[in-house]
Structure formats: C-alpha cells, structure tokens
Amino acid sequence: MLELIKSDTVFYVVAPANAATGGPELLHQLASKLRKAGKRVYMFYTPSDHPEPVHENYRQYGIDFVRSVPDESDNLLIVPEVETKILERYQRVKKVIWWLSVDNYFRNLPGLKGKINRFFLKKMGSQKYLFFNENVKNADSHLAQSRYAMDFLKEKGINKSDYLSDYLHHSFLSEGSSLNDKKNIVAYNPKKGVNFTRKLVDAAPHIEFVAIENMSREQVVDLLRSAKVYIDFGFHPGKDRIPREAAFLGCCVIVSKRGSACYYDDVPVPSEFKFTDSTKNISRIISKIDECFFDFERNHDKFNDYRSAIKDQEIDFDRQVNRLFVGKPDNV
C-alpha cells in the first residue's frame, strides 16, 4: 500500500466537469472502486463552480462530489496529469498524480510552454518536448496508466511511481460481434493522426474509410462491429480505449509506432500491424488493409490474445487498487 495512505485518509479524485472521454471515465471508475473498498471518496470537478459537473454517463457510479477540498494532511488528492496546476493551491494535502497520458500533459501546459509543445506535436509530429514543469516532482506519489508513462517518469528522474492501468467498462464487454457481419470497411478516429490518415485515404480510393465522428456510443459500436479494420496513426499518449474497443469487436487493429503503441504491454498488437507513419510506408499499410479484407478470418485470429487480455483488465485493475490503496496483495 502507498505509504502516505492511513486508515482515516479521505480521497478526492479530480476530473474535468461535465466531460465524457476516456480520462474522466477512468477517474470515476477509480473512485467507484475505492468506495467499494470501504474508502471515503469524493469527486472534485474543475471548474468547481460548474452548475452541472456530473456528466450523465457517470451518474451510474453515484459518487458524491464537493465544491472544495480542505487543505488537511489526512486528505489525499488524485489528479490526472492535465490538472497538475491545481496542486499549487495546497500545502498540506497529500498529492498523487495519475499519468493517464504523457503527451496530453505537455499539450496542456499553460501559456507559451503549452503552445510551443503543441506546435512541435501537431505541426512537426515530434514527441520530443521542450518544456516540463519540474514542480510535478514535488507530488507525494505518481501513478502510471501505461508502461510508456512509467518509462517517461523514470527518464524525468521520478522513481516513486506505481503502475495503475485501466479497463473497459463491463457493459461494453457484453457487446458481441460476428464475423458474418463484417464488411470491407476501415474505421478511424479523425482526431488521431489526421494528416497521415488523409494521405492513406487519398492513396486508396478503392477502400471505404469511415470516420468516428458525430456518433452516439451505439453508433460507434455498430461501426466497429461491421468494420474489418480499425487504424490509429495518432500519438498514443496512453493506453487509448478505441483500439481496444475495436479489437474486442473483432477488428484488425493497425497502429503507428508512437507513444504507448511502441510497447507491447500497452498495445499488444502483433508487430506486423504496427507501422511508422511515413510516406514510404503508405503502400505497405494499404497492402496490409487489403490482406485483412481478403483473408479476414486468419488475420482476425491474430488478435485473440489481445481480446483475452482486454477481458481480464478489470480483474487486473482491482488487484492494483487493492495493492496500492487497500493493502491487499496482488493475488487477492
């Protein structure tokens, strides 16, 4: 168990107000697991004066929220990496940063630092950032959602870190798919690696590409059920959810060799489905897509280990929470 946790510790989990993305969902899932373990836990949303801070997707967790966090030593504040500025308000509260991503931290730095980091990422495609606020090292502890983040923290001289990953909600895992429903469609997220993806689309007019945008959750599920391939040539700032959702719903998943996708533990996709996002590889990527279309069952089965790992992620997460916050060994 983390040394800073005591029997009377009160947990406050920070999340953006009324936002529904992978990060906020995971923060609510952690709060729910802590409450089930008998801990006193509250959500603390930013901005704290938002009139309706709880997004409708997360009301199911039933976690109470507060408008302020008392600056007392028996309180523990868990913040995602994009909300580290909030830690400057507190002197006595125990502080834990949960690195749900690496790149989003740099992109969200305030002022000119963030602008320059975003320039290098978006315009130049570089994940070598110029600015890092050394004050994050003053946090009492660090958690990493990916092996990519663990290595990043070590590179920054932060050795007091622990692994706390994530999982897909069990309601999603109840969704099924059939090989008979699959069509020669490539699904993609237009927010991820859009410049390179456009080059692929332009180079392959014979392939139907469908963007995941302006869709309800049900529509996303329907698309991934019917698509044979999902591609993601983004920066993979952490263990992203959509590649896992796509794999679980029977897609072959093709990704860039960036960020967490460079780590098999984070994105356990066979190496033949990982490509450097360079112009010289466009023809190879298109050939791989065509191969998945025309020999789908054989390529689909190459992701069976990935799908099995996805099913076990909540069990692994429960073990990690018990070890870090409750004091139970991993085998409990």
* CATH number of the domain bearing residue 160: 3.40.50.11930
Rounded distance between C-alpha atoms, residue 82 and residue 115, angstroms: 14
pLDDT at 122: 67
Q: Which of 180, 273, 169 is CA-nearest to residue 225?
A: 180
Per DSSP, what are the bridge partners of residue 45? 15
Is 141 contained in some domain?
Answer: yes
pLDDT for 137 beyond 90 = no
Q: How confident is the model at residue 125 (pLDDT cuts 50, 70, 90)?
A: low
In this structure, the answer to whether residues 182 and 146 fall within a common structural domain is no
Q: What is the mean pLDDT of the chain?
A: 90
Most confident of 4-8, 104-108, 207-211: 207-211
Measured at the CA of 52, the angle between CA 50 and CA 54, to 5 degrees, comes to 110
In this structure, the answer to whether residues 14 and 155 fall within a common structural domain is yes
Show which of 164, 183, 208 is a domain's final residue. 164
pLDDT at 126: 52
In this structure, the answer to whether residues 149 and 208 fall within a common structural domain is no
Is 111 contained in some domain?
Answer: no
In this structure, the answer to whether residues 179 and 145 fall within a common structural domain is no
- φ, ψ for residue 148, nearest 5 deg: -55, -45
Q: How confident is the model at residue 329 (pLDDT cuts 50, 70, 90)?
A: low
Show which of 142, 164, 186 is a domain's final residue. 164
Is 74 contained in some domain?
Answer: yes
Q: How confident is the model at residue 104 (pLDDT cuts 50, 70, 90)?
A: confident
Cβ-based neighbours of 40, under 8 Å, separated by 6 or more: 9, 10, 11
Cis before residue 270, ω within 30 degrees of 0?
no
In this structure, the answer to whether residues 139 and 278 fall within a common structural domain is no
Rounded distance between C-alpha atoms, residue 193 and residue 202, angstroms: 14
In this structure, the answer to whether residues 150 and 67 fall within a common structural domain is yes
In this structure, the answer to whether residues 307 and 184 fall within a common structural domain is yes
In this structure, the answer to whether residues 31 and 177 fall within a common structural domain is no
Contact 227, 210 (CB under 8 A): yes
Is 231 contained in some domain?
Answer: yes
- φ, ψ for residue 218, nearest 5 deg: -65, -40
- φ, ψ for residue 147, nearest 5 deg: -70, -30
In this structure, the answer to whether residues 245 and 285 fall within a common structural domain is yes
In this structure, the answer to whether residues 228 and 143 fall within a common structural domain is no
**CATH number of the domain encompassing residue 196:** 3.40.50.2000
- Which tens digit of pLDDT belongs to each residue from 273-303? 999 999 999 999 999 999 999 999 999 999 9
pLDDT for 218 beyond 60 = yes
Could you give the dihedral angle defined by the CA atoms of residues 124, 149, 318 and 269, in that order, rounded to the nearest 10 degrees? Answer: 60
pLDDT for 75 beyond 80 = yes
| DSSP output for 40-70 | EEEEEEESTT-SS-S-GGGGGG---EES---
Rounded distance between C-alpha atoms, residue 63 and residue 45, angstroms: 12
Is 296 contained in some domain?
Answer: yes
Is 47 contained in some domain?
Answer: yes
pLDDT at 178: 85
- How many domains would you assign to the chain? 2
Is 304 contained in some domain?
Answer: yes
Q: Note down the domain range covering 88.
A: 10-100+133-164
In this structure, the answer to whether residues 90 and 183 fall within a common structural domain is no
pLDDT for 124 beyond 60 = no
Rounded distance between C-alpha atoms, residue 224 and residue 212, angstroms: 9
Helix axes 241-248, 217-226, angle to 10 degrees: 50
In this structure, the answer to whether residues 160 and 174 fall within a common structural domain is no
Is 110 contained in some domain?
Answer: no
